Structure 1
């Protein structure tokens, strides 16, 4: 929206006219296209890939050795945990336990089950707690196949015997589907749009446009997964992002269309104006989001590259829908865009005092005046609040969820609790050591002894040589659990100090699921600053190109960093420190999921730039018309406050609905993004932007090699002075 008068020619104007005039063809093409892509995508799309291992980390090298030389150790396993109040040898308890073991052994997807009655190492000394490992013969066992095993174990508990079935596949099997979260998000968006537009027709256009785009985008995302795989949380994340940006982009265009109709334009010219102004800003803002998302590629992680590409596809489809499908819908509605209206009290007040709404000072204008009278105080206070909210970020720890952070009614949590009580919390966080050797006579006992004597290690198994005599592996169990910071410190100590000093310790790699999580967190922590720098640099360049101001682009980057930092801080306080965590659906205190902060940053930076584009472009229009920065900021806020507030409210509603789901990692991401949008729409847009722009004055429009633009039409002195009140 760089100019107040929309151009009547150009690519976007021609596209708008075509979609408006050939609306039936455009709508039919979209419907047929989405149905075709959905059939192919959902029918033949790639399966999710949740293997975060790989790369050059020690855990990745250990995994390569194990896969190459110990193929029999591959495949998923389940852990049956047993706790009997009277001991497992009690006749009634034994009968119950042996029946469960027999049922599990008889399953077509399990291998031989070793009974704890046959192996004393599987039972505690007091014989009250026992465990056994159950191999899964099908590494691609479906969730529906594992769920009956979980149910069998849960139903057998009782009468003094508690049983739990753990393991990654058990956790996945008993995790309920996301449920009505997306539906609730759509309903909340509909309510917000109805309040903002006051019309059922205007409310429905952004929602229908977004839903069609999301359906086609997710189907395309599944097809892209054959080339660039992504983890299973990507669909939920992409749906949230697509729903939010899809509705927001359509909202901006419909708002501009309604304004044009109110100014006396005919529906076709109003559509052209909306697409060449708001539509252009949508394309620019969407491109910013896509670039920000693709910044995840800098992380160098295979699956996060998949997340970046998949979510970018969703945003691209919503952008295309906003400038093609939506104009076709506008062609069908015409002047009926305001049909089925919500009665508004403001219209009665306007009739009573006789002042047209466009001549009345809005709350946004009055608020801007308040901030601009004391800009330094407002900027300092707002900045201080953001820094205080961001402070907890300094203690952020990264990890991946395991059974210990699942809801306490889950069988996997029961298994974790029983095993931790009987065999120590480190049993669920084993460290698998692997190395190549020259012959079967290789002696790795000095290394095992050095590891066993390390403080923090509970015990270690004896070394095992592969059938080909070329590799050796053993397992050590820490005294601390999977999510404990001490476990990560222990892994670093073993690698940096213990193994290099032990005879034969060179070339011994520390691996296993726990080490993979630790390496993944370390890699994210080291690469995150680079990704942030790349995303900021590219977004700033794009914003300079749009608003033609270096100062405003740098302001936007700093403000976005502050709001995202504040969101990180709030997320740490809630999830990691436990403040209001249980009330928001987090079962216990836990580290931040590794992928959440690196996913949050590009998404939020892109979305923040969206609001910046729509606000600043309006301010720029007013400044080029009047040459008065204060008046431009006041009027820019007044013209965009309602639509940006509605857009932010929709985003907050969509992201917050993730808390209704059952995936703790997705809930973390949704909470963090909802908080960031709330902060951005309130503290940043309502306080920092007007305060900082007032302080900078004409310096806001600085661009190397160009003079500040002069007003193209003088404003009445009284109006300009009024803007300074």
Structure 2
């Protein structure tokens, strides 16, 4: 039976018809537009900003004082760590050490390097371990130039002498690019689409559409940095999200197009119908993801705002491509959508109203029947499983990665281990105290109080700025950057030690370690606000689509459970170290501070996508039959295949991030893959049908309106507007 959607008018209908009939113009416009934006975006991209400090935190105030009164401390530095089995004074060891120091000193991007043989403070008492600082003369030294210094140090190790080059720039320089992981994700998605569609042509359309959209979207993401600064992981994160949703959105529309052709539509009507129905749901789903992403703005951190805007730009472009570029492609393909088919032993025609083949639908209906016969048991078991998985979330610790969590073949990790052995694990977590209060002699009681605090290894003498307006000193904790004890120490110093010392209330604690702690504390305090905003906005949108307060509330609770379960699995693997090495994590570590921040809005938006695709079908069936049980059974049967395929694509794309080198991106990909898997299985296939069965007619409650009951054969508005 052919629907009349193509003749009902409306903006989407007119847009779809225009793109189909003017397909050459639309395709040419897209090609020229993407090339132009890509040339500008990738050629003149805004520089990334990875400074997570800022605002009114103690560490930000300390950093501001240092930048204002200690300009000589500005600029990046590297740290050379040296370990000689026979001592650094062994003649063979000294020749090797002198040579590497000379090579580093001769580099055009380094300043004067002080040899540890000239300063006994740079050498341990047993003369086996030494260190020295290498200043970088260029503020933004090229990665290749710093990499050459790292290679020099690596190649100089040997014959009883171990060398490591540490520092932020060294870590960046030896961290490889994301590499082929995105390509692997595209290949995996192509295989899944080929299995789902059984046709190379149908498989290729979502891939090509998504790739063109992502190219333009990532270019806009790079340019958005001029409006709001964003960290360097924004582009990789946007690529993950864009690739996943871009392919999925095109998948939904191509599926509906194929159904329409099998129902007897000509290619133009099939295209218009697909865009008007599935395209409507795609726009809603994409808008939900964008609104959820923009919830990051509520966190009040400028870099998270940059991530939200940059990633949202990519999602917006994929949405636009799905309802403009894809119908143009469909105009070129026409009836050839099933060309180059996968050989099958039997061919089953789909049912007249679309959906999976009868045997597959029957299996899904049987599963729905099993759930509906024992809804309470199913709901309890599914809910308990999610709560068990979410339990580790209660022990989640947040921090930013440092050299100690990098792969063990990195020079920065070698530097960390050598310095920790010789100067203590807290050497890589210095606490920098800064104040404008009086000369350095006035800080004597403060220095003594800090030095006497349990957990402090040693304190350096105070130094006064050249203008005489500020004083600073450094304290080294006994524990490392990632240790919980270090964060507890910083809080103790701020809350107990400094307030009790004379003039201590005017002393601020800064440095990379304190900045990471402040950032984590700020994130933890503002995360509930972001969650509340995302939930409220998403609920409003879902109520507007499905016209049910009950279902919208169910969706919110279930989404929270699935995201909590994903957080729990992430904590167990990353922080507790369960199977961590299997997933490419060199050691157990706290969860990167910004990971749960960016995961929540994206996952909540994606979960709402699946909710829309399932509930829209259920709503259609309810309006047609007036029976909730039948509606849930048929709705689940007709969406099971497409939700499974969409989830499989998302999981494939997200898990490919584990192939990359960045430990934080690995965490994001792992967490989101787990969340999508849980959402598409436990939540959509078990919890949703069970809870809807328990709620019965209450599923359709809306204030001031009774739920409609319609007879078989009566067309529904949702069928015309949002059927997938």
TM range (shorter): over 0.9
Aligned pairs for 1:199-238 within 5 A: 199-238=199-238
Distance 2:34 2:185 in 1: 22
Distance 1:297 1:708 in 2: 37
Please tell me whether the aligned partners of residues 8 and 273 of structure 1 are also in contact (alpha carbons under 8 angstroms): no
Please tell me whether the aligned partners of residues 445 and 462 of structure 1 are also in contact (alpha carbons under 8 angstroms): no
The residue matched to 1:443 in structure 2 has which SS? helix
Q: Normalization by structure 1: what TM-score? A: 0.96
The 3 A distance-change label for structure 1 pair 627 and 418 is: same
Please tell me whether the aligned partners of residues 478 and 487 of structure 1 are also in contact (alpha carbons under 8 angstroms): yes
The residue matched to 1:256 in structure 2 has which SS? helix
Paired residue for 2:545? Answer: 546
In the TM superposition, residue 349 of structure 1 has moved relative to its aligned partner by 11
In the TM superposition, residue 147 of structure 1 has moved relative to its aligned partner by 0.4
Task: Out of 617-626 and 482-491, give the one that drifted further.
Answer: 617-626
Q: Provide, for residues 439-493 of structure 1, a one-character-per-residue CA deviation record: whole Å limited to 9, x for no partner.
A: x475211111100000000000111111111111000000000000000000000
Q: Provide, for residues 84-134 of structure 1, a one-character-per-residue CA deviation record: whole Å limited to 9, x for no partner.
A: 000000000000000000000111111110110011110001000000111
Please tell me whether the aligned partners of residues 48 and 230 of structure 1 are also in contact (alpha carbons under 8 angstroms): yes
Paired residue for 1:184? Answer: 184
The residue matched to 1:583 in structure 2 has which SS? coil
In the TM superposition, residue 142 of structure 1 has moved relative to its aligned partner by 1.2
Distance 1:407 1:704 in 2: 57
Distance 2:570 2:468 in 1: 49
The 3 A distance-change label for structure 1 pair 131 and 199 is: same
Aligned pairs for 1:17-28 within 5 A: 17-28=17-28
In the TM superposition, residue 6 of structure 1 has moved relative to its aligned partner by 6.5
Paired residue for 1:106? Answer: 106
Q: Provide, for residues 62-83 of structure 1, a one-character-per-residue CA deviation record: whole Å limited to 9, x for no partner.
A: 0000000001011111000000
Task: Out of 26-35 and 134-143, give the one that drifted further.
Answer: 134-143
Aligned pairs for 1:295-444 within 5 A: 295-347=295-347, 357-358=357-358, 361-438=361-438, 440=439, 443-444=442-443
The 3 A distance-change label for structure 1 pair 694 and 501 is: same
Please tell me whether the aligned partners of residues 437 and 506 of structure 2 are also in contact (alpha carbons under 8 angstroms): no
The 3 A distance-change label for structure 1 pair 367 and 461 is: same
Paired residue for 1:600? Answer: 599
Please tell me whether the aligned partners of residues 652 and 678 of structure 1 are also in contact (alpha carbons under 8 angstroms): yes
Please tell me whether the aligned partners of residues 431 and 515 of structure 1 are also in contact (alpha carbons under 8 angstroms): yes
The residue matched to 1:109 in structure 2 has which SS? coil
Paired residue for 1:648? Answer: 647
In the TM superposition, residue 437 of structure 1 has moved relative to its aligned partner by 2.5
Distance 1:188 1:360 in 2: 23
The residue matched to 1:82 in structure 2 has which SS? strand
In the TM superposition, residue 504 of structure 1 has moved relative to its aligned partner by 1.8
Distance 2:349 2:278 in 1: 30
Paired residue for 2:162? Answer: 162
Paired residue for 1:353? Answer: none
Distance 2:6 2:311 in 1: 31
Distance 1:461 1:33 in 2: 58
**Where does structure 1 differ by over 3 angstroms across 4 or more consecutive aligned residues?**
3-7, 356-361
Paired residue for 1:719? Answer: none
Q: Provide, for residues 607-647 of structure 1, a one-character-per-residue CA deviation record: whole Å limited to 9, x for no partner.
A: 00011111111111111111111111111111111111000
Please tell me whether the aligned partners of residues 80 and 132 of structure 2 are also in contact (alpha carbons under 8 angstroms): yes
Paired residue for 2:684? Answer: 685
Aligned pairs for 1:113-128 within 5 A: 113-128=113-128
Cα RMSD between the aligned structures?
A: 1.4
In the TM superposition, residue 345 of structure 1 has moved relative to its aligned partner by 3.4
Paired residue for 1:78? Answer: 78
Paired residue for 1:520? Answer: 519
Listed as ranges, the gaps of 5+ residues in structure 1 are 351-355, 716-725
In the TM superposition, residue 4 of structure 1 has moved relative to its aligned partner by 9.6
The residue matched to 2:509 in structure 1 has which SS? strand
In the TM superposition, residue 397 of structure 1 has moved relative to its aligned partner by 0.2
Distance 1:278 1:4 in 2: 15
Paired residue for 1:54? Answer: 54
Distance 1:561 1:357 in 2: 33
Distance 1:242 1:188 in 2: 15
Paired residue for 2:717? Answer: none
In the TM superposition, residue 348 of structure 1 has moved relative to its aligned partner by 7.3
Task: Out of 612-621 and 339-348, give the one that drifted further.
Answer: 339-348
In the TM superposition, residue 710 of structure 1 has moved relative to its aligned partner by 1.0
The residue matched to 1:433 in structure 2 has which SS? strand
Please tell me whether the aligned partners of residues 6 and 269 of structure 2 are also in contact (alpha carbons under 8 angstroms): no
Distance 2:207 2:330 in 1: 13
Paired residue for 1:447? Answer: 446
Distance 2:620 2:4 in 1: 6
Listed as ranges, the gaps of 5+ residues in structure 2 are 351-355, 715-724
Please tell me whether the aligned partners of residues 15 and 324 of structure 1 are also in contact (alpha carbons under 8 angstroms): yes
Paired residue for 1:259? Answer: 259
Distance 2:102 2:445 in 1: 41
Q: Normalization by structure 2: what TM-score? A: 0.96
The residue matched to 1:227 in structure 2 has which SS? coil
Please tell me whether the aligned partners of residues 391 and 569 of structure 1 are also in contact (alpha carbons under 8 angstroms): yes
Distance 1:668 1:18 in 2: 43
The residue matched to 1:78 in structure 2 has which SS? strand
Aligned pairs for 1:238-249 within 5 A: 238-249=238-249
The residue matched to 1:506 in structure 2 has which SS? helix
Please tell me whether the aligned partners of residues 111 and 134 of structure 1 are also in contact (alpha carbons under 8 angstroms): yes
